[in-house]
Structure 1
Amino acid sequence: MVTTHVTIVATSLDASSKSQLLARHAAKVLEERGVSHTLLDLRDTPELAAPLKQATHLIFAVPVYNFDVNAAAKQVIEDHGGALEGKTVGFLCQAGGQRSYMSVLGFANSLMLDFRCWIVPRFVYATGNDFEEGEQLGETIRGRITELLDTLMQGNSPVIGG
């Protein structure tokens, strides 16, 4: 039996990142539910290989720039793609506007096709309007994060290497 472990990869390198706020809220919900998890903040996490291998489920918290995920997120799959193989993956996206909502699809396709990841089709896409007073997540976006986590955790984890 595989023990469920969710690893959240917060890829923004910005000190005032809103995608980091999304990641921390997801970690808080997992903590409240008693789900084993790790929050990897790329701003201060030197070692990624072991936590990525340990994960049964992954969540990428990504900022969206120029209609794509940030370069740091792409670097994770370039450097550690093998550790992602067969994982169930969800997304928390933070963008400047409404028009980039499909921006994560190229990244998701790479995970799905190159590394045989299971992609959760429900992802969170937040803009500045989803935050109260700039730093607090609004009720709607908190609910969307909960829906993502519920969908991510449904059923059994896929068999790694099966």
Structure 2
Amino acid sequence: MTPLRLPVISCSLDPVSSSRRLAERSASLLRASGHGSEVVDLATASLPAFDNDQVFDSDAFGALHEVVRESDGVVLAFPIYNWAPSSTVKSLIEATGATGEGRRAAWFDKVVTFVCAAGLPHSYMATGALAQSLMLDFKCVVNPYTAYIAERDWEAGTLSVDRAARLEKTMTVHAELAGLLRGRTSLSDWEV
């Protein structure tokens, strides 16, 4: 099988981000499986906040749109704040998902996987609205395996055995879904 393009986008602006560490580990797991995977870090990408105007003129927008558009699947690694995904991941999707003036959303038909870092284990369902939006707006296939990692799942800077296994399984399923759907013939656009 031809290696898949499976970028991991780190959607945290925190300089000591747990989700960034998870993004790096996710990309490493995907590369170990023979796929192309790099971490795209929004903390260094300088994507302006989504304003439906000048964001499209930024170099970061063009680069991020291409990463998503050319991928076979995307891993979104982000923190959970206040029982919801961080605003950074939403701003990324708003910018790269916008259409108009010669732009087409980059997200159509992508396999998307969530890797989440959280303070407590209680908000593991916080990705529901984001998943629903990606499925309904862009016809994304959202991996049902989410790697949800709380602070207590780290032991001296290392993931606990069960959470490490969950992250590995999540990346395995991500690659399998992307591989199975790579040759599909149906292509989506804005539709209800």
TM-score by length of 1: 0.92
Looking at structure 1, the residues matched to 15 and 83 of structure 2 have their Cα atoms a distance apart, in angstroms, of 21
Deviation at 1:28, TM superposition (A): 1.0
RMSD after superposition: 1.7
Paired AA for residue 86 in structure 2: N
- Superposition pairs of residues 39-78 of structure 1, within 5 angstroms: 39-45=39-45, 46=60, 47-78=63-94
Deviation at 1:38, TM superposition (A): 2.4
Q: Is the counterpart of residue 152 in structure 1 residue 157 in structure 2? A: no
| 1:52-99 Cα deviation digits (max 9, x unpaired) | 111111111010001100001001110001101100111101111121
Paired AA for residue 63 in structure 1: P
Higher Rg of the two aligned structures: 2
Unaligned runs of 5+ in 1: none
- Superposition pairs of residues 6-155 of structure 1, within 5 angstroms: 6-45=6-45, 46=60, 47-81=63-97, 82-133=105-156, 135-154=157-176, 155=179
Higher strand share: 1
Looking at structure 2, the residues matched to 77 and 69 of structure 1 have their Cα atoms a distance apart, in angstroms, of 12
Looking at structure 2, the residues matched to 117 and 72 of structure 1 have their Cα atoms a distance apart, in angstroms, of 19
| 1:119-138 Cα deviation digits (max 9, x unpaired) | 111111110111112x3222
State the SS of the aligned residue for 1:110: helix
Q: 4+ residue runs of structure 1 moved beyond 6 angstroms?
A: none
Q: Identity across aligned pairs (percent)? A: 29
TM-score by length of 2: 0.78
Paired AA for residue 126 in structure 1: I
The range that moved more, 109-118 or 23-32, is 23-32
Looking at structure 1, the residues matched to 108 and 135 of structure 2 have their Cα atoms a distance apart, in angstroms, of 9
Paired AA for residue 91 in structure 1: F
Q: Is the counterpart of residue 161 in structure 1 residue 187 in structure 2? A: yes
Unaligned runs of 5+ in 2: 46-59, 98-104
Is the 2:3–2:34 Cα contact (8 Å) retained in structure 1? no
Looking at structure 2, the residues matched to 122 and 146 of structure 1 have their Cα atoms a distance apart, in angstroms, of 10
Aligned length: 161
Q: Structure 1 residues 52, 2: CA separation in 2 closer, same or farther (over 3 Å shift)?
A: farther
| 1:22-73 Cα deviation digits (max 9, x unpaired) | 1110111112222112211101123311111111111110100011000010
The range that moved more, 12-21 or 149-158, is 149-158
Deviation at 1:139, TM superposition (A): 2.1
Looking at structure 1, the residues matched to 172 and 34 of structure 2 have their Cα atoms a distance apart, in angstroms, of 13
